[in-house]
């Protein structure tokens, strides 16, 4: 990533800290970058700077980003082996340390949607028995994510979530509700206090016996991890246990904890200040045993470590061969006062140390003294002045040992360098391991999102499928209706044909009008008599026609027919061909359903006399 982008990212994090009060600056940049970029893709923004603008104008965006950054992946009894170890080893040890009425305080930091806290509560309830558990245990489960905490407080889980809960525990601690979900035991649930707590900014909870902070530390950089761990050190009672996630290791520089089981990531706080003690003083000689004295003298002489003995009045009582060579002493110097010898001030100022050892009756050491023996390479010596006591405890004199520690110091330096390299490599390994684990969690969360999308697609698919089936059934219904309609149409056209034949077979002209006197039927004989085709007259009022028939004279009898009367009139008329005729017109009412009169019929015939 370019420096400009780095700066933009930092600007974004500072904005979030200063305006929204949430500090992501201690989170690992690799994870942050991936998560923020993921959110940027969702809102179609391609740079941190533009995204900052987006955050500033859209007040809801922070929540969406917050949810994207904080990965809430979790499950019941996540990483099973650790839970077996807790059940069989750690919880019994923890309870052994407690008296029967002591409370047991547990802290689950970074608890997400609660499964880890409930898993622990089930194990503790199993180990202690329900009544004791309810009376003595308090579990604090904390997270920064309020939405996750809300879910945790409800303690309702899906069948998928329940897959990791052993069957016997599921039976004892869960009941299923009407929506097919599983509700955690209300009574046990009340011992778990869920609360918002920011591991970076808030003070730790205290007097904790068991602290589980799993798969959360790995999101922070090394400095913040160290800070949080020092808070955990404060939070834990002596003898309390700290449990981390499987990818999380204490950095080697954190000396506040020692592993109980490194593989399963269980630690205890260390006790402070070890203090370096002196080795026990050499056993006193027994001057009464000549053999022992001779053996000791021989051993003293050939010892590879330079050693001299000094009497209480400051004379050189003995110097072994190594001391004589190293310190340029001769046998003739034995018995001389130390003050007359170079030994008094080289390789170290000796008289004050002799006095101090005599006064304190304890060894006095000077380490890393530089010394060049004749014909040898420069060396480093540890000089140790030790009082020598007789069996009865009386002080006999002083032993001064000059130990060449050159090689030792070199080895120590080499060791320190390798140790340092090892620590760096370990830290890198650790951080790669954590990186892998966070990537894994991100993948898991993406996978969960994909699964949700998949489920949504599947449900959309099912929805489409049901709609399809509904359409198919509507289609079948329509086809039935269609068949019926077709049948009716056939029947109707049959009737129409029949009616047409009837109308055509009548000797006179037949007109049918509705109640408004509009023409509904005009048969072929009418066309022939009056010279107008059916298409021209249908829908027109009969009295308004301009034909050879005096239609106005027909209005009265037509209205009578509409009132239910039958009548016949004779009128003078002129046919299409211009012939004058007498036309007899017979009127009848047209009865519709239920006896209602819906129109009138007029049958016109030319009288024979014409």
Ligand X SMILES: C[S@@+](CC[C@H](N)C(=O)[O-])C[C@H]1O[C@@H](n2cnc3c(N)ncnc32)[C@H](O)[C@@H]1O
List residues binding ligand X (CB under 6 A): 70-74, 78, 110-112, 116, 143-145, 148, 198-200, 214-216, 219, 245, 441
Other C-beta atoms lying within 10 Å of the C-beta of residue 155: 22
Closest CB to ligand X among 148 and 385?
148
268 phi, psi to nearest 5 deg: -125, 155
Please, what is the minimum distance in Å from the beta carbon of residue 276 to ligand X?
Answer: 39
Closest CB to ligand X among 70 and 562?
70
Residue 518 is given by DSSP the state B
User: Do residues 183 and 155 make contact, with C-beta atoms less than 8 angstroms apart?
Assistant: yes
Closest CB to ligand X among 215 and 430?
215
Please, what is the minimum distance in Å from the beta carbon of residue 270 to ligand X?
Answer: 24
Burial call 395-420: b when 16+ CB within 10 Å, e when fewer: ebbbbbbbbbbbeeeeeeeeeeeeee
Please, what is the minimum distance in Å from the beta carbon of residue 196 to ligand X?
Answer: 8
79: left (phi > 0), else alpha (psi -120 to 50), else beta? left
Closest CB to ligand X among 225 and 307?
225
For every residue of 399-425, DSSP letters joined together read: EEEEEE-HHHHHHHHHHHHHHHHHHHH
Other C-beta atoms lying within 10 Å of the C-beta of residue 36: 21
Distance separating alpha carbons of residues 558 and 597, to the nearest angstrom? 12
Please, what is the minimum distance in Å from the beta carbon of residue 38 to ligand X?
Answer: 16
Please, what is the minimum distance in Å from the beta carbon of residue 256 to ligand X?
Answer: 20
Closest CB to ligand X among 439 and 482?
439
Closest CB to ligand X among 231 and 399?
231
**Between β-strands 236-244 and 580-591, what pairing exists: parallel, antiparallel or unpaired?**
unpaired
Please, what is the minimum distance in Å from the beta carbon of residue 108 to ligand X?
Answer: 7
Closest CB to ligand X among 113 and 430?
113
Closest CB to ligand X among 82 and 583?
82
Please, what is the minimum distance in Å from the beta carbon of residue 142 to ligand X?
Answer: 6
Please, what is the minimum distance in Å from the beta carbon of residue 456 to ligand X?
Answer: 24
Distance separating alpha carbons of residues 343 and 458, to the nearest angstrom? 93
Please, what is the minimum distance in Å from the beta carbon of residue 41 to ligand X?
Answer: 21
Distance separating alpha carbons of residues 36 and 15, to the nearest angstrom? 14
Closest CB to ligand X among 433 and 606?
433
Distance separating alpha carbons of residues 509 and 584, to the nearest angstrom? 10
Nearest of 606, 600, 461 to residue 548 by alpha carbon: 606
Cα 367 to chain center, whole Å? 56
Measured in residues, the chain has a length of 610
For every residue of 560-579, DSSP letters joined together read: HHHTT--EEEEEEEE-TTS-
């Amino acid at each position: 990533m370019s420096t400009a982008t780095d700066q933009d990212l930092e600007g974004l994090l500072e904005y979030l800290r200063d305006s929204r009060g949430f500090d992501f600056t201690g989170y690992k940049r690799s994870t942050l970058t991936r998560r923020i970029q993921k959110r940027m893709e969702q809102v179609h923004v391609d740079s941190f700077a533009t995204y900052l603008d987006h955050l500033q104008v859209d007040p809801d965006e922070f929540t969406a980003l917050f949810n994207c950054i904080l990965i809430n992946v979790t499950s019941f009894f996540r990483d099973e082996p650790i839970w077996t170890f807790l059940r069989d080893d750690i919880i019994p040890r923890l309870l052994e340390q407690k008296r029967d009425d002591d409370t047991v305080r547990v802290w689950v930091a970074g608890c997400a949607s609660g499964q880890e806290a409930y898993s622990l509560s089930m194990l503790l309830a199993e180990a202690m028995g329900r009544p004791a558990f309810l009376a003595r245990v308090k579990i604090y489960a904390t997270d920064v994510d309020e939405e996750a905490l809300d879910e945790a407080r409800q303690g309702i889980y899906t069948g998928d979530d329940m897959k990791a809960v052993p069957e016997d525990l599921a039976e004892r601690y869960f009941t299923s509700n009407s929506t097919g979900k599983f509700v955690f035991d209300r009574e046990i649930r009340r011992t778990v206090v869920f609360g918002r707590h920011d591991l970076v900014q808030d003070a730790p909870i205290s007097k904790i016996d068991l602290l589980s902070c799993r798969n959360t530390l790995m999101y922070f950089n090394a400095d913040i991890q160290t800070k949080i761990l020092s808070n955990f050190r404060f939070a834990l009672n002596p003898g309390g246990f700290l449990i981390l996630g499987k990818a999380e290791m204490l950095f080697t520089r954190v000396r506040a904890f020692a592993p109980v089981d490194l593989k399963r990531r269980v630690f205890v706080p260390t006790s402070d200040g070890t203090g370096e003690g002196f080795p026990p003083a050499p056993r006193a000689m027994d001057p009464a045993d000549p053999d022992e004295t001779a053996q000791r003298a021989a051993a003293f002489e050939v010892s590879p470590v330079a050693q001299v003995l000094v009497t209480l009045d400051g004379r050189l009582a003995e110097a072994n061969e190594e001391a004589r060579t190293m310190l340029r002493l001769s046998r003739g110097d034995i018995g001389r006062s130390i003050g007359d010898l170079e030994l008094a001030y080289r390789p170290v100022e000796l008289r004050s140390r002799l006095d101090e050892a005599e006064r304190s009756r304890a060894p006095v050491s000077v380490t890393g003294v530089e010394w060049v023996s004749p014909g040898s390479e420069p060396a480093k010596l540890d000089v140790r002045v030790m009082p020598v006591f007789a069996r009865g405890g009386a002080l006999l004199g002083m032993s001064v040992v000059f130990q060449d520690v050159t090689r030792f110091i070199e080895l120590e330096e080499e060791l320190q360098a390798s140790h340092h390299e090892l620590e760096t490599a370990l830290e890198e390994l650790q951080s790669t391991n954590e990186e892998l684990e966070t990537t894994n969690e991100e993948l898991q969360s993406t996978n969960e999102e994909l699964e949700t999308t998949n489920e949504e697609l599947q449900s959309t698919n099912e929805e489409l499928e049901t709609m399809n089936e509904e359409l198919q059934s509507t289609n079948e219904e329509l086809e039935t209706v269609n068949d019926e309609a077709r049948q009716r149409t056939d029947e109707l056209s049959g009737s129409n044909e029949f009616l047409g034949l009837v109308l055509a077979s009548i000797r006179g002209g037949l007109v049918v009008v509705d109640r408004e006197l509009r023409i509904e039927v005009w048969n072929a004989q009418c066309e022939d008599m009056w010279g107008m085709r059916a298409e021209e007259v249908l829908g027109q009022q009969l009295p308004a026609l301009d034909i050879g028939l005096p239609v106005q004279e027909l209005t009265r009898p037509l209205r009578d027919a509409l009132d239910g009367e039958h009548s016949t009139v004779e009128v003078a008329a002129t046919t299409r061909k211009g012939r004058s005729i007498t036309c007899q017109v017979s009127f009848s009412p047209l009865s519709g359903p239920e006896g209602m009169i819906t129109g009138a019929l007029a049958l016109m015939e030319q009288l024979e006399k014409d």
